[in-house]
Chains A and B, each alone.
Chain A
Amino acid sequence: MPAVTETLDTVQSVTQSGYKWGWETDIEMDLAPKGLSEDTIALISDRKQEPDWLLQWRLKAFAAWQQMEEPHWARVEHQPIDYQDLHYYAAPKKKPGLKSLDEVDPELLKMYEKLGIPLKERAILAGVDPDAGENRQIAVDAVFDSVSVATTFRATLSKAGVIFCPISEAVRDYPELVQKYLGTVVPVGDNFFAALNSAVFTDGSFCYVPKGVRCPMELSTYFRINARNTGQFERTLIIAEAGAYVSYLEGCTAPMRDENQLHAAVVELVAMDDAQIKYSTVQNWYPGDAEGRGGIYNFVTKRGACRGARSKISWTQVETGSAITWKYPSCVLHGEDSVGEFYSVAVTNNRQQADTGTKMIHIGRGSRSTIVSKGISAGKSNNTYRGLVRVLPSASGARNHTQCDSLLIGDQCGAHTVPYIESRNPTAKVEHEATTSKIADDQLFYCRQRGLSEEDAVNLIVNGFCKEVLKELPMEFAVEAQKLLAVSLEGSVG
């Protein structure tokens, strides 16, 4: 091997060693031909055995998308994306309509095991009634490329009246619910990537919590992109009826590849009177290598509608992966005294780019919102907070508090804060605080003098910096997130 190649390989293996989720699973796939057209959409709709209204809805989105331009206002740079060079449908070959986990391809189950996802209901494996045993259970929906492969604990959930299933199944089994809410928070023509998603979305999770029900367990979805040259376009829809409560978490990983892969998801949340939805994301898509080769383009539209009085939607996100993150989980606060929250940690290292933040749209009287954003930049990365707080004339007494902190590691990275504030009601109170700091040499030295290694010192300081956000995550995931922060920043000092 020539010395140069060897050196490059060594460097590559060292810099990529941090990404533990980079393997590829060898499974026979059913792939749609590359390219996007009405035919592709008809094919997707056909594979999913969808009703005609949904096909028409998709085609309307596609028509809107064709009239739109890829947005370029974010502080991110990338090569042009050839939307005709992607597969828009990729599914493990398997007979449709799995009755149980046993029918799932064992390769798939192995993969989720590698990811550490408790897909097999442990209680069932142990031969006990899932209701009697463990007091803390998590229901999982696992999405592999374009399809949902398994959803756990559905029986327990349905006993409580909670529907939690792949959205493709919901279209079949609860068409009236899907039709009533789909696209009402993020309309088909909302933005370029949302329109694209609406045209070609393949799967995702659906959750419906009926009136007055507190969902008995955490719900979570794991998304995995596996196939080459595919995009992942999942669609998630969560509805909490009056007085309902649900906490939902999503996790994402992908193999390491030289080329960039597109991920354009849409998440819609609807909260009625007194309902609460807590939506947490731990995003760990492959970020690309140290030179910026490969990695996921994460162009995501997430929005929650607080339709009811006193309803509350909280977004918590820990974003450590992706080559580019373009994501603004938002709350539309229609309801009187409704509450929107956004807690975010975004880490960028090497050549990663993140442009992320939130929108809080105050419509209801007395609506309140809180934004806490923690951006950490290392290496040669760029990290931008972009946020909009808009108070409409109807939102008397609206309140917003925004806290936006940036932490820089090293001297080749960038942190940017772009807040937009529009208040059209004189009784509204909007506050914005922002800080930028560096991990100071004296902080590192202080920790090392007490016996901590440089990496442990950085982790401790970073975790301290993010504490306000991490404490919003469900306990199990907070620990995961802390580990993830450590891995993402490996090699960022010294």
Chain B
Amino acid sequence: MLEIRGLTASINDKPILHGISLDVPQGEVHAIMGPNGSGKSTLAYVLAGREDYAVTAGSVTFDGHDLLAMAPEQRAAAGVFLAFQAPVELPGVGNANFLRTALNALRRSRGEDELDAVQFLKLARAETKRLAMPDDMLRRNVNVGFSGGEKKRNEVLQMAILRPRLAILDETDSGLDIDALKIVADGVNALRGPDFSALVITHHQRLLDHIVPDRVHVLVGGRIVRSGGPDLARELEAQGYAQVIAEAA
């Protein structure tokens, strides 16, 4: 479903990604692990279409379409969702209003009927409940005054409501206590199925105890230096990145 070929990208003329190739087939969850500064977040932003990043070579196709040619909102309409590492605050914009506007924009672009306020609230309340989040999460302004953990859970709530086909989770586990981590993991696991793929970016193996990936890739210095099954994550945790980097060199 997602095919990345020889992707290189830079920000402010500084090369970050040095030729990444990666396939995420439909229905699979892949993890990307790597030390700080290895290019994990850059990869997430490039896939979502952030304009600050320049793609200098390579290609990315999503369902056979050229993802890099699409505007961010077109990628969203195609089913790409990025759970932000640092979710952005929108003062004065109610969470429910934001989510309904987003959901209806996506539905419109797919030729589906828009949901009215009542239909939407029913859906949104069911999801907040399932994710053990307080109802007032919907009433509050988007991420304003949210704790770090609440922001991450809000990302997962958005994901649950927008139902993407490919979710990219950019260090969604960072800053979460174990209970919040479980909630986030449950949120992702609930979506797992033949029509859902995910790219789980994480620094720690901890999250992968709860979201067990089909494949693990190790990103170092803007390159994927190793790929393997779920065991690779535990191996990394035990040995540290240094060992893997040394072996790859």
Q: Are A463 and B93 touching (Cβ within 8 A)?
A: yes
Q: Are B82 and A464 touching (Cβ within 8 A)?
A: no
Contacts of A453 in B (CB 8 A): 73, 105
Contacts of A466 in B (CB 8 A): 92
How far, in whole Å, are A448 and B98 apart by their CA atoms in the complex? Answer: 11
* B101 touches A (CB below 8 Å): yes
Contact with B along A454-484 (1 / 0, CB 8 A): 1010001101111110000000000000000
* A39 touches B (CB below 8 Å): no
* B91 touches A (CB below 8 Å): yes
Contacts of B102 in A (CB 8 A): 447, 450-452
Q: Are A468 and B101 touching (Cβ within 8 A)?
A: no
* B149 touches A (CB below 8 Å): no
Q: Are B50 and A445 touching (Cβ within 8 A)?
A: yes
Q: Which of B75, B77, B81, B98 has the most CB of A within 10 A?
A: B98
Q: Which of A448, A456, A463 has the most CB of B within 10 A?
A: A448
Q: Are B109 and A460 touching (Cβ within 8 A)?
A: no
Interface size for A (C-beta < 8 A) is: 23
Q: Are B73 and A448 touching (Cβ within 8 A)?
A: yes
* A66 touches B (CB below 8 Å): no
Contacts of A443 in B (CB 8 A): 88-90
* B158 touches A (CB below 8 Å): yes
A450's nearest neighbour on chain B, judged by CB, is B102
* A446 touches B (CB below 8 Å): yes
Q: Are B71 and A448 touching (Cβ within 8 A)?
A: yes
Contacts of B93 in A (CB 8 A): 460-461, 463-464
Q: Are B91 and A465 touching (Cβ within 8 A)?
A: yes
Contact with B along A209-220 (1 / 0, CB 8 A): 000000000000
Instruction: A451-B106, A456-B101, A464-B92 are known; give 12 further A-B pairs, CB within 8 A.
Output: A445-B48, A448-B49, A448-B76, A449-B49, A449-B73, A450-B105, A451-B76, A451-B109, A460-B97, A460-B98, A461-B93, A464-B141
* B84 touches A (CB below 8 Å): yes
Q: Are A449 and B92 touching (Cβ within 8 A)?
A: no
Q: Are B88 and A452 touching (Cβ within 8 A)?
A: no
* B222 touches A (CB below 8 Å): no
How far, in whole Å, are A456 and B71 apart by their CA atoms in the complex? Answer: 14
Nearest-neighbour CB distance to chain A for B54, whole angstroms, equals: 15
Nearest-neighbour CB distance to chain A for B109, whole angstroms, equals: 7
Given A456-B101, A460-B98, A463-B93, check contact A450 B76 (CB 8 Å): yes
CB proximity to A under 8 Å, residues B45-94: 48-52, 71-73, 75-77, 81-82, 84, 87-93
Nearest-neighbour CB distance to chain A for B126, whole angstroms, equals: 19
* Closest A-B pairs by Cβ, 6 of them: A464-B92, A464-B93, A450-B102, A451-B76, A448-B72, A446-B88
B158's nearest neighbour on chain A, judged by CB, is A450
* B162 touches A (CB below 8 Å): yes
Chain B positions within 8 Å of A, measured between CB atoms, are 48-52, 71-73, 75-77, 81-82, 84, 87-93, 97-99, 101-103, 105-106, 109, 141, 158, 162
How far, in whole Å, are A446 and B72 apart by their CA atoms in the complex? Answer: 9
Nearest-neighbour CB distance to chain A for B152, whole angstroms, equals: 14
Q: Are A446 and B87 touching (Cβ within 8 A)?
A: yes
Contacts of A445 in B (CB 8 A): 48, 50-51, 72, 88
Partner of B105 from A441, A451, A463, A467 at Cβ < 8 Å: A451
Q: Are B76 and A460 touching (Cβ within 8 A)?
A: no
B162's nearest neighbour on chain A, judged by CB, is A450
* A442 touches B (CB below 8 Å): yes
Contacts of A456 in B (CB 8 A): 101, 105
Q: Which of B75, B91, B103 has the most CB of A within 10 A?
A: B91
Contact with B along A419-451 (1 / 0, CB 8 A): 000000000000000000000111101111111
Contacts of A468 in B (CB 8 A): 92
Q: Are B162 and A451 touching (Cβ within 8 A)?
A: yes
Q: Which of A453, A454, A466 has the most CB of B within 10 A?
A: A453
A457's nearest neighbour on chain B, judged by CB, is B73
Q: Are A449 and B77 touching (Cβ within 8 A)?
A: no
How far, in whole Å, are A464 and B97 apart by their CA atoms in the complex? Answer: 10
Q: Are A446 and B84 touching (Cβ within 8 A)?
A: yes
Contacts of B84 in A (CB 8 A): 446, 449
Contacts of B109 in A (CB 8 A): 451
How far, in whole Å, are A464 and B95 apart by their CA atoms in the complex? Answer: 11
Can you list 16 contacts pairing A with B, beta carbon distance less than 8 Å?
A441-B51, A441-B52, A443-B89, A445-B50, A445-B51, A447-B98, A449-B49, A449-B72, A449-B73, A450-B99, A454-B73, A460-B90, A460-B93, A463-B92, A464-B92, A465-B91
